[in-house]
Amino acid sequence: MTLIVLAIIACYIALMFKKYRTKFSVILTIALCIITTTGATLWGLWAANPEGRVIFFYSSIGRKVFILLIAAWYIADLLCSLRIIRNYIEYRKFNPTINV
């Protein structure tokens, strides 16, 4: 699980610094981020034991803490999405002749 989380963080960082040439790529990337977070949320709710505890980074956390972590992840998605949109707008400003 730890390696997967680190890989997702690395992917998010790479996505934030990528140049986006089309609106489709921007929408697809943002949707991928949200789908990944939703998948992690569903996995955590499914994997919780009967007491409502989830194993996360080799330790057991409660459902409330897990929900707070997921909320923070959705906020990170929002910030990444804003950065991706800003990158697209900056790209379009410097390359206005390329068709969308």
State pLDDT tens for residues 10-39.
888 888 888 888 889 999 999 999 999 999
Cα separation, 20 vs 91, in Å, equals 7
Domain of 68, in residue numbers = 2-7+16-94
pTM of the model: 0.78
Q: Is 66 exposed, middle or buried (0-12, 13-18, 19+ CB in 10 A)?
A: buried
Question: pLDDT at residue 1 above 60?
Answer: no
At 40, the pLDDT band (50, 70, 90 cuts) reads confident
Is 99 part of a structural domain of the chain? no
Element (H, E) at 71: helix 63-94
Provide the number of structural domains found in the chain. 1
What tokens were used for 15?
Answer: 């996505």
